Structure formats: structure tokens, C-alpha cells
């Protein structure tokens, strides 16, 4: 077995330190938002985790296309890693959103297009994991996984479109939002620092986890092949 690459070990420590600093920045250092108070601090990790989740799913659909074109198992491992990472981070994104929404919107959950789309995306990729578990043959598992990752990824923006016809109340802090949005605010300089720092932190953290997951996938693959050799 190959030892953990040195760069990955360094990344582990960098992620840990960055996460500690980001936590400090968002909880103590960033200025308090005037109307919403401390609960607004959820925003920094909320957006950062959502961002990493999206990257994971994007990576998965890219790997899916690459797998169908090349039939190289490498892409299957990367795709699965992307989806697993994406699932975890999106879940954090949804939960932090709910924590914020309770005092601001006065409800944990509302059937807003963005919320529904995020939940649907989560369900699509949970279904992906279940599909994989139902197939034993590695080649078919990879192929069906790739196809479902692509179909699922196409369906997510369509879900958003189909629900978007109703008005949204989700705030858009970066870029222009709907006038009906509730809980919008303008970021001050201190907030921006904390925000971009969190974004960078979670990107590094996401990449580190992804690397670990891909490495794990490779090791699993090696074991599976070794088992096959022993059995035959």
C-alpha cells in the first residue's frame, strides 16, 4: 500500500488551521449585522458549503461524461467522490439555511424554489448512491452511475425553472436579487473578508476531502481486484 502523499498530509493540516481561523473570523471577528443580529453569521458557512457542494456535483457530471466516453474506471471513482462530498456539504448548506430561516423567515422550511431545488438535488444524489448499491458488477455500476449523474444534473436546473414561476423569497446577497426577498443585507468590508476567507477555507477543505475519497476509492478498487484474482 502506498503511504499517504506528503502534499495530502500538508493539506490536512492547512485545512484544520484554515477552519479554525474561519470559525474565529465568522464568530468573533466579523461585525454583527444590524437587523438580523448574530444569526446572520450562519451565512458565511452556509454559502461556502453550498459552493463546495455544487463543485462536487459539477465534478460528478463531468466525470460521468468522461466515463461514458473513455470507460476508464478512474472517472467512476472521481465521480462517486464528487457526489459523496457534494451530498455532505449540501446537507450542511440546507441545515445551516434552516437554522438561519427560523428567526428570519419565522419558519424552518418554506417551499421556495431555491430550497426545493436544493432538497431535490440532495434526493437525486441519494438516489444515485442507492442505484450504485443495487448493482454488483463494477463496470455496470459505473456506467449506470454516470448516466444517472448526467440525467440528474440536467433535471436540477429544470426543477428550479419549473418552480421559479412562483416568486422567490430567498435573498441574493451577491448580484441582484428579487425585490420580494426577505433577509437581504449588504456586506460591509469586515463581512466580506470573513466571507471570502470562509469560501477559500471550504474550497481547500473540500479538495482535501475529495482527494482522500478518491484515494480511498482507488484502494477499494485494488482490494476488489485482488479478491477477484484470489477467487479465480
Tell me: does residue 62 bind another protein (CB under 8 A).
Answer: no
Tell me: does residue 7 bind another protein (CB under 8 A).
Answer: no
The footprint of another protein on this chain (CB under 8 A) covers a number of residues equal to 28
CB 57 to another protein: min, Å: 13
8 Å CB contact between 79 and 64 = yes
CB 180 to another protein: min, Å: 18
Contact region with another protein (CB under 8 A), list: 30-38, 88-96, 135-143, 187-195: 135-143
Tell me: does residue 10 bind another protein (CB under 8 A).
Answer: no
Contact region with another protein (CB under 8 A), list: 90-98, 133-141, 181-189, 215-223: 133-141
Contact region with another protein (CB under 8 A), list: 84-92, 93-101, 130-138, 217-225: 130-138
Q: CA quadruple 187, 195, 89, 222: dihedral positive or negative?
A: positive
Pairwise CA distance, residues 33 & 218, whole Å: 46
Nearby residues of 188 by Cβ (< 8 Å), 6 or more positions away: 31
Pairwise CA distance, residues 25 & 141, whole Å: 43
> Which positions from 141 through 200 interact with another protein, judged by CB under 8 A?
143-144, 146-148, 150-152, 154-155, 158-159, 161-163, 165
Nearer to another protein, 7 or 123 (CB): 123
8 Å CB contact between 156 and 121 = yes
Torsion of CA 116, 119, 123, 124, to 10 degrees: 70
> Which positions from 66 through 125 interact with another protein, judged by CB under 8 A?
68, 120, 123-124
Neighbours of 7 (CB within 10 A): 10
Neighbours of 198 (CB within 10 A): 26
**Residues in contact with another protein by the rule CB under 8 A:** 68, 120, 123-124, 127, 130-131, 133-136, 140, 143-144, 146-148, 150-152, 154-155, 158-159, 161-163, 165
Amino acid at each position: 500500500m502506498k503511504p499517504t502523499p506528503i502534499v495530502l498530509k500538508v493539506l490536512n493540516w492547512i485545512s484544520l488551521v484554515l477552519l479554525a481561523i474561519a470559525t474565529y473570523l465568522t464568530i468573533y471577528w466579523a461585525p454583527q449585522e444590524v437587523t438580523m443580529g448574530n444569526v446572520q453569521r450562519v451565512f458565511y458557512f452556509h454559502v461556502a458549503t453550498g459552493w463546495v457542494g455544487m463543485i462536487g456535483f459539477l465534478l460528478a457530471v463531468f466525470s460521468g461524461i468522461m466515463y461514458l466516453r473513455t470507460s476508464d474506471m478512474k472517472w467512476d471513482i472521481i465521480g462517486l467522490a464528487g457526489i459523496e462530498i457534494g451530498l455532505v456539504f449540501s446537507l450542511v448548506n440546507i441545515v445551516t439555511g434552516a437554522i438561519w430561516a427560523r428567526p428570519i423567515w419565522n419558519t424552518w422550511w418554506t417551499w421556495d424554489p431555491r430550497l426545493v431545488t436544493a432538497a431535490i438535488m440532495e434526493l437525486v444524489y441519494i438516489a444515485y448512491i442507492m442505484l450504485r448499491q443495487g448493482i454488483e458488477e463494477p463496470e455496470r455500476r459505473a456506467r449506470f452511475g454516470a448516466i444517472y449523474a448526467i440525467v440528474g444534473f440536467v433535471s436540477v436546473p429544470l426543477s428550479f425553472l419549473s418552480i421559479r414561476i412562483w416568486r422567490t423569497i430567498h435573498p441574493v446577497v451577491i448580484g441582484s436579487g428579487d425585490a420580494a426577498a426577505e433577509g437581504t443585507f449588504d456586506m460591509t468590508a469586515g463581512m466580506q473578508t470573513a466571507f471570502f476567507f470562509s469560501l477559500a477555507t471550504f474550497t481547500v477543505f473540500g479538495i482535501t476531502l475529495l482527494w482522500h475519497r478518491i484515494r480511498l476509492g482507488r484502494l477499494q478498487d485494488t482490494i476488489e481486484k485482488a479478491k477477484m484474482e484470489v477467487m479465480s
